[in-house]
Structure 1
Amino acid sequence: MSSTPVSKPSAAQADNMQNPISSNMPEHLSLNKWEDTGFEWAGEIEPTSFERLSAILTTEHEQEKIQLTANLYRRNNVLHLSFKLAGDVWLTCQRCLQPVATDLTDDYDIALLDDESQVRLVNEEQDYLLLDEVITEQSPERLLPLKKLVEDEILLKTPMAPKHDDCEMTIEQFGEIPEEEENENPFAALASLKGKL
């Protein structure tokens, strides 16, 4: 039996460990509650649960759930939202009109800045958003629109005109294509007059 003392987590750490791990992705995160202690969420989400994404998904193929892990944390006095997506969505190929899979698997990290003065605290390559522009709902607590931010990144990842890599556009031909007649060059007559004048 070991006599090493076991450190008990603080109340804030214990609350943080009980972050939901489920399939019900939160629409919003309360920054009043989570911005100092951090927040983690992991689960599976239906692509059709995103309203704007749902409008471009194909109905010709069954959509599979997307794996998502999200983490709200503070580094260098700057709040960050990082998340990892794993999975595909099925869109409509703009050439053959058949379903085509688009891989969403990627890591994302967005700095959430209180104001423009914090830009100097993040790397030049770092994506960032101003919290005043992101938090639009007026309420007593500051609510970060988690689901909307994730959907924004998914929409940026999906191509505007999805197509299969090896897709050839199918063209149906009706009738024969008429051969173009060679039109006489209008300057040919002038060329013949050149030597006669």
Structure 2
Amino acid sequence: MNQGLFPVRVDPLKCLEQNADFSGSIAVSKLERLQGFLQDDSGEAQVEIHFGHDEQGIALLSGQCQAQVHMTCQRCMNPVAVELKHDFEVAIVVSDEKAKHLPKQYEPIICEGDSLELLPVIEDELILSLPMFAYHHECDDNELKAKEELAPVETEAPSNPFSVLEQLKK
């Protein structure tokens, strides 16, 4: 298994022939689409992948990715550490037509040519593992009250839409 810095690009045909394994780390700062969901770009994702075939001879890329990232708590709006961990298995195909004939359990990755970009694949899997709502299990009540006090709700008496008619009567 190749360890260390994770490869950015590989030749999928060679990797499939060799049943190649790779493991390493990717800086979260290199995953731009993932950063849109995060409070900062600190941390690293640990990744392990394996190229191989299933019983039907379908080319597969399988693996696991995990990272600790900081998202915004939806209760108190402060940073909250979130542990991401995701196992994945995707099929490598050369065209949309081949992707249509895959068994339902496989998500396709279309690889045209002799180069496969791995960072977008890993980034997609990390995005899929994000929670819908990030929050502390116990937010500080004083902090929540302070935020409520900072933004008082101004209640204005609703205007009567018929007040104009009243003036016309006079």
TM-score by length of 1: 0.62
Change in Cα spacing, 1:101 to 1:117, as seen in structure 2 (3 Å) is same
In the other structure, the counterpart of 1:21 is 3
Query: What residue in structure 2 maps to residue 57 of structure 1?
Result: 38
Per-residue displacement from partner, 1:8-41 (whole Å, max 9, x unpaired)?
xxxxxxxxxxx5311x221222123222222211
CA contact (8 A) 2:92 2:109 kept: yes
Tell me what 1:156 maps to. 128
Is the counterpart of residue 171 in structure 1 residue 148 in structure 2?
Answer: yes
CA 1:33 to 1:173, structure 2 compared with 1: closer, same or farther past 3 Å?
Answer: closer
Rounded Cα–Cα distance in structure 1 between residues aligned with 2:136 and 2:153:
30
Give the deviation of 1:42 after TM superposition.
1.0
1:78 to 49, 58, 66: 58
Q: TM-score, normalised by structure 2?
A: 0.70
SS at match of 1:163: coil
Choose between structure 1 and 2: higher strand proportion. 2
Are the counterparts in 2 of residues 78 and 118 from structure 1 also a CA contact under 8 Å?
Answer: no
Residues 23-79 of structure 1: per-residue CA shift (max 9 Å, x gap): x221222123222222211122222221212343323xx833332111111122101
Task: Flag the 1:147–1:94 CA change in 2: closer, same or farther, 3 A.
Answer: same
Quote the offset at 1:130 in angstroms. 4.7
Secondary structure of 2:43's partner? coil
Q: How does 1:111-150 map to 2 (within 5 A)?
A: 111-114=91-94, 115-116=98-99, 118-119=101-102, 122=103, 124=104, 126-131=105-110, 135=111, 141-150=113-122
In the TM superposition, structure 1's runs of 4+ consecutive aligned residues that sit over 4 Å from their partners are 173-178
The percentage of counterpart residues that share the same residue type is 24
Q: Residues 161 and 118 from structure 1, CA distance in 2 versus in 1: closer, same or farther, beyond 3 angstroms?
A: same
State the alpha-carbon separation in 2 of the partners of residues 70 and 149 from structure 1: 11
Q: Distance in 2 between matches of 1:88 and 1:163?
A: 14
5+ residue gaps, structure 1: 1-18, 181-197
Question: Which residue identity is paired with 1:158?
Answer: L
Q: Mean alpha-carbon deviation: is it higher for 148-157 or for 84-93?
A: 84-93
Q: Give the 3-state SS of the residue equivalent to 2:18 in structure 1.
A: coil
Say which of 57, 63, 69 aligns to 1:89.
69
Residues matched between the structures, number? 150
Unpaired segments ≥5 residues, structure 2: 158-170
Conserved? CA contact 1:68–1:83, under 8 Å: yes
Per-residue CA deviations over 1:76-119 (Å, capped at 9, x if unaligned) read 21011111123311112233221112221231111224404642
Q: Is the 8 A contact 2:59 2:92 kept in 1?
A: yes
Matched, 1:67 2:34: no
